[in-house]
Amino acid sequence: MRLMPLLCFLMTVLLPCLTGEASAQTEPTAKTNFIVFIADDMAWDDCGAYGHPKIQTPNLNQLAADGMKFNHAYLTCSSCSPSRASIITGRYPHSTGAHQLHLPLPASQVTFVEKLKEAGYYTASAGKWHLGTPTESKFDLVTTKLNEWVATLKQRPKDKPFFMWFAFSDPHRPYQRNIIERPHTNEDVIVPPYLPDTPEVRGDLALYYDEITRLDSVVGDVRKELSAQKVASNTVVVFLSDNGRPFPRCKTTMYDSGIRTPWIVTWPEQIKAGSVCNSLVSSVDLAPTVLELAGLPVGETFQGKSFQPLLKKPEATTRGLIFAEHNWHDFEDFGRAVRSPRFKYIRNFYTDLPGTPPADAVRSDTYTKMLELRDAGKLTEDQQSCFQIPRQEVELYDVEADPHELNNLAGNPQYQEVQQELRTALEQWQEVTHDRLPRARRPDEFDRETGQQLPAFRKK
């Protein structure tokens, strides 16, 4: 990677996209239907389709076998509602007005769903709703009940093309035992090196696996209903997650364990079964892609870039970099990242704060055990990162050689050029998208050691 080619990329690819230049579009011969499945806190590699040998995900495995699996798909944020707001608007979280957890998406924000609705699509959302009241009117139907996915599909008007936003609450915490017929065991678990390998951690991960299996069964039920209605062949099905697993050094981080997502697309009429794409895609790209596949114009508000060319030619390239951010989520923080196919550059702006996981993960068996091991001096250096103060301001990783991002190359003379190139790209992106450091910090809502809500936030 050289600086001039990188800057050329930003000027010729990123900037036109941000200012509304859309690629040429073709009108499909028949209206295409869409279903988007969104998992809640599922890591990219926690299913059989992505190589996990023990997690029971037969339906996701079949989804990948029937369509295209993307190996390098990334989220713009590893935080629930900001990530979903980014997906539905095709904009980076700081550009949506909903960049922090639980902030509602403003009514003024344009979503790809309302564009489909205006074009005659029936639009429905079923399951977890984390976008706020103003966005409800952009759908024909919003139901927050769980287990209504198949029913929602059955009750659609049959004289209209449809778009369904099917959002799960799995595998979000808290967890319960025996929710599936054959629960996962501690022996089924793969423990990443940044977590201690103890029975408590394995047990926690096993329960997380169980929720993924429960989610998987819904995917199968919905696909059966599509076939029963004889609309499967002309329905694009997309499966992704909103962020990584709810464990330390995963969710709310900009490591791949936080922002890398499973991304599977099926479309029997157009996508070759068993396809694999290794090109970079971002969740900000989904909105313009859906609009393009529907034969609709991509307006100037959308900051992503359509990945439609990859569906026919998976070896093609639609972007050279992905960008991600982290803002307030239970705890104060502000960080930004840029990733190329090989390298990840992270900038931590609040180095005086540790990388504390979300409050529900702080209350988990895993974190409780980590606190015990930390106090006993029994955590490895890699397992102490979420407690580290001060944090390193700059992190640089060779993600091909170091997929868990444990060896920080920042400041290494051998990687000085790539560090500067990625820093420049990140700064350019921040400038183009009007990303600014907040004038004031938002206080933590929870205790970073116990995960309990602080007195100032308790309802009186």
pLDDT at residue 9 is higher than 50: no
What is the structure's pLDDT at 11?
A: 43
The residues near 358 (Cβ < 8 Å, ≥ 6 apart) are 246, 251, 252, 329, 330, 331
Mean pLDDT, to the nearest integer, of 352-362? 98
Share of the chain above pLDDT 70, in %: 93
* pLDDT band, residue 27 (cuts 50/70/90): very low
Buried b (16+ CB within 10 A) or exposed e, 387-410: beeebeebbbbebeeeeebbeebb
DSSP-derived 3-state class of residue 282: strand
The span from the CA of 387 to the CA of 14, in Å, is 36
The pair of three-digit structure tokens given for residue 127, joined into one six-digit string: 């399951």
What is the structure's pLDDT at 262?
A: 98
* pLDDT band, residue 111 (cuts 50/70/90): very high
Q: What is the mean pLDDT of the chain?
A: 94
The span from the CA of 415 to the CA of 421, in Å, is 10
Q: Using one digit for the tens of pLDDT, what is the confidence trace for 244-254? A: 999 999 999 99
User: Computed over its alpha carbons, how large is the radius of gyration of the chain?
Assistant: 21
Given a contact cutoff of 8 angstroms between Cβ atoms, the answer to whether 111 and 287 are in contact is: yes
The pair of three-digit structure tokens given for residue 449, joined into one six-digit string: 């050691």
Q: Using one digit for the tens of pLDDT, what is the confidence trace for 381-395? A: 999 999 999 999 999
Q: Which long-range contacts (CB under 8 A, 24 or more apart) does 320-323 make?
A: 320/6, 320/9, 320/13, 320/280, 321/9, 321/14, 321/280, 321/425, 322/74, 322/280, 322/281, 322/282, 323/76, 323/92, 323/282, 323/426, 323/429
Sheet holding 275-277, edge to edge: 141-143, 122-127, 162-167, 33-39, 235-241, 264-266, 68-70, 275-277
What is the structure's pLDDT at 459?
A: 72
Amino acid residing at 370: M
Given a contact cutoff of 8 angstroms between Cβ atoms, the answer to whether 234 and 161 are in contact is: no
What is the structure's pLDDT at 73?
A: 98
DSSP-derived 3-state class of residue 367: helix
Q: Using one digit for the tens of pLDDT, what is the confidence trace for 36-50? A: 999 999 999 999 999
The span from the CA of 99 to the CA of 246, in Å, is 19
Which residue in the block uniquely carries the two structure tokens 């991509």? 298
**Segment (H or E) for 89:** helix 80-89
C-alpha closest to that of 209 among 375, 73, 41, 384: 41
What is the β-pairing status of strands 68-70 and 162-167?
unpaired
* pLDDT band, residue 30 (cuts 50/70/90): confident
Given a contact cutoff of 8 angstroms between Cβ atoms, the answer to whether 206 and 190 are in contact is: no
Which residue in the block uniquely carries the two structure tokens 């068996």? 365
* pLDDT band, residue 20 (cuts 50/70/90): very low
* pLDDT band, residue 29 (cuts 50/70/90): very low
What is the structure's pLDDT at 247?
A: 98
The pair of three-digit structure tokens given for residue 295, joined into one six-digit string: 């034969």
The span from the CA of 278 to the CA of 21, in Å, is 25
Q: Using one digit for the tens of pLDDT, what is the confidence trace for 198-224? A: 999 999 999 999 999 999 999 999 999
What is the structure's pLDDT at 97?
A: 97
pLDDT at residue 281 is higher than 80: yes
Of the candidate ranges 28-32, 171-175, 329-333, 441-445, the one whose mean pLDDT is the lowest: 28-32
Given a contact cutoff of 8 angstroms between Cβ atoms, the answer to whether 354 and 391 are in contact is: yes
pLDDT at residue 401 is higher than 80: yes
Which residue in the block uniquely carries the two structure tokens 């040998």? 53
* pLDDT band, residue 61 (cuts 50/70/90): very high
DSSP-derived 3-state class of residue 205: helix
What is the β-pairing status of strands 33-39 and 162-167?
parallel
Buried b (16+ CB within 10 A) or exposed e, 42-81: bbbbbbbbbebeebbbebbbbbbebbbbbbbbbbbbbbbb
Given a contact cutoff of 8 angstroms between Cβ atoms, the answer to whether 55 and 185 are in contact is: no
List of E strands, 169-244:
235-241
pLDDT at residue 435 is higher than 50: yes
Mean pLDDT, to the nearest integer, of 180-192? 98
What is the structure's pLDDT at 21?
A: 36
* pLDDT band, residue 28 (cuts 50/70/90): very low
pLDDT at residue 127 is higher than 60: yes
